[in-house]
């Protein structure tokens, strides 16, 4: 299999360097029509098993003695590679190399790798892994997948990262590694969508408030909006249709409660929908999300839980989950739900909904805490890790999350003990306890969590005579994100919720 980095930064990755003219003329002709191949790109070895998102620093040194020294700024997910967790805390590095004044690279043959490599200087770590921040307001680490080329300046680089319940912008000093959060609010998120000429384009949104793009200048280390130059457009949806409460919980995790307000308050129901995120190493952010706005407009309150193991809370909290899935994350979701129902007036009933690992948790909650939920909705859920491990494109996920950080796939497949542990932490181990009606949304082309695995669980529910509905989208895969599928999914979700949660009690 050729396995890529999308959502999987635990996999090995390397940088390569190429001169543009070499890419277009990678075949030299010599002699009588003989074709002599030469590399279009050279490996840029960093000494790390994870190196990606390389961006040129804007400054060079030289020419001196006929050489120009260039610097590359790049990310490394070495912690993800070592632990097996798909999206552990990243590190920021720089590394330099020299070329002559015509841009020709100095390269050599690496006997161990059997490839041509650029001769370069040692890698320098600018920001390392943040295991645990001193306070909840401090920088929690780099949880980012890329660097925007225009966001690297002479003395600092700007990154988008997850900071607890919000996507935030962070500035990193390249000489000292000092990190500061430029945006700190937990009730709204900021996304870095463009950069160049000393300016950044940032999209800001919050539940009930659609995205707005603003232009910021960063001269002299200052962060200020450029007056009169930000893009402007009229939002096509009304603002102020909800209220947002971010609640901190013991054990270093949070939840976001979104309730109908303003024009939507009159349709408010007494039901809350618990939505655990997928991953499990991702996070909910306080931002405008289409399907969430749709559900709030129908009168439902939403409880988004960033259980322990989510990104944005330091690497120690993230690494606490592998080997404890189906237990620790389930307990965190229940704690958040109980705190919500106790603190909020007008809420007395609950539903649970999630996709992928969020679907895994949805089924666990319906089985382990059946008295708390009146119905459930799952989108391409993991029903059995034991059944998934030999059929998925991410077998390493099954080993790491079920057996613990650092556990790698066996050469000849999982042992009987491995399969037993995988089964015990899976939702199907509790299928006999489920009593709530469930809606299943599956992608026929899903290669990550194959839809066939869900059929055993569905058959078990049918054998009990429980109400359920299964919809299979023939051309969709794991995300269920094509426009038509997304539309049909949430029309059916609205119908399902209306049928089982629509009446006030």
Whole-prediction pTM = 0.92
Angle at 240 (CA atoms; ends 229, 203), nearest 5 degrees: 30
Active site residues: 356, 446, 478
pLDDT digit string, tens, across residues 104-163: 777 777 766 667 788 788 899 999 999 999 999 999 999 999 999 999 998 999 999 999
Angle at 101 (CA atoms; ends 96, 107), nearest 5 degrees: 50
pLDDT digit string, tens, across residues 85-94: 999 999 999 9
The Cα–Cα gap between 118 and 139 comes to 34
Residue 1: per-residue pLDDT: 46
Residue 24: per-residue pLDDT: 47
pLDDT digit string, tens, across residues 19-30: 766 544 544 445
* Region 418-445 average pLDDT: 97
Residue 105: per-residue pLDDT: 76
Q: Is pLDDT of 45 > 90?
A: no
Q: Is pLDDT of 31 > 70?
A: no
Q: Is pLDDT of 218 > 90?
A: no
Q: Calculate helix-pair angle for 395-403, 416-424, nearest 10 degrees.
A: 70
Residue 26: per-residue pLDDT: 47
Q: Tell which residue, 358, 243, 248, has the closest CA to residue 301.
A: 243
């Amino acid at each position: 299999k050729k396995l890529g980095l999308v959502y999987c930064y635990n996999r090995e990755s390397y940088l390569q360097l190429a001169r543009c003219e070499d890419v277009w003329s990678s075949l030299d002709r010599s002699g009588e029509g003989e074709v002599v191949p030469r590399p279009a790109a050279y490996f840029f070895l960093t000494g790390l098993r994870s190196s990606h998102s390389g961006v040129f620093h804007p400054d060079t040194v030289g020419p001196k003695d006929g050489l120009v020294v260039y610097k590359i700024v790049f990310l490394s997910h070495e912690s993800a590679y070592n632990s097996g967790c798909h999206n552990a805390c990243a590190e920021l590095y720089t590394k330099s190399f020299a070329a002559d004044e015509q841009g020709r690279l100095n390269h050599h043959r690496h006997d161990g790798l059997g490839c041509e490599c650029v001769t370069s200087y040692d890698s320098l770590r600018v920001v390392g892994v943040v295991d645990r921040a001193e306070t909840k307001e401090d920088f929690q680490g780099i949880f980012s997948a890329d660097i925007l080329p225009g966001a690297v300046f002479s003395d600092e680089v700007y990154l988008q990262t997850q900071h607890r319940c919000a996507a935030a912008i962070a500035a990193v000093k390249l000489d000292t590694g000092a990190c500061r959060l430029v945006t700190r609010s937990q009730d709204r998120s900021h996304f870095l969508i463009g950069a160049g000429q000393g300016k950044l384009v940032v999209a800001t949104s919050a539940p009930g408030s659609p995205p707005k793009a603003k232009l910021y200048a960063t001269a002299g280390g200052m962060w200020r909006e450029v007056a009169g130059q930000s893009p402007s457009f009229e939002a096509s949806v009304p603002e102020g249709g909800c209220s947002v409460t971010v609640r901190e919980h013991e054990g270093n995790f949070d939840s976001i409660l979104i309730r109908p307000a303003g024009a939507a308050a009159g349709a408010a129901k007494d039901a809350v929908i618990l939505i655990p995120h997928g991953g499990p190493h991702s996070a909910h952010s306080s931002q405008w999300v289409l399907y969430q706005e749709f559900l709030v407009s129908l009168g439902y309150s939403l409880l988004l839980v960033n259980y322990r193991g989510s990104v944005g809370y330091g690497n120690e909290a993230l690494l606490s989950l592998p080997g404890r899935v189906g237990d620790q994350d389930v307990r965190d979701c229940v704690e958040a739900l109980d705190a919500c129902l106790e603190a909020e007036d007008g809420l007395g009933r609950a539903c649970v909904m999630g996709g992928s690992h969020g679907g895994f948790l949805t089924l666990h909650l319906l089985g382990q805490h059946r008295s708390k939920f009146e119905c459930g909705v799952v989108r391409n859920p993991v029903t059995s890790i034991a059944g998934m491990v030999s059929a998925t494109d991410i077998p390493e996920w099954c080993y790491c999350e079920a057996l613990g950080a650092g556990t790698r796939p066996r050469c000849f497949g999982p042992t009987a003990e491995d399969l037993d542990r995988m089964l015990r932490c899976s939702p199907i181990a509790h299928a006999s306890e489920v009593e709530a009606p469930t809606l299943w949304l599956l992608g026929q082309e899903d290669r990550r969590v194959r839809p066939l695995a869900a059929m055993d669980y569905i058959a078990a529910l049918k054998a009990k005579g429980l109400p359920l509905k299964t919809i299979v989208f023939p051309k969709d895969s794991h995300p269920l994100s094509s426009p038509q599928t997304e539309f049909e999914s949430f029309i059916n979700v609205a119908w399902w919720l209306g049928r089982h949660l629509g009446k006030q009690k």
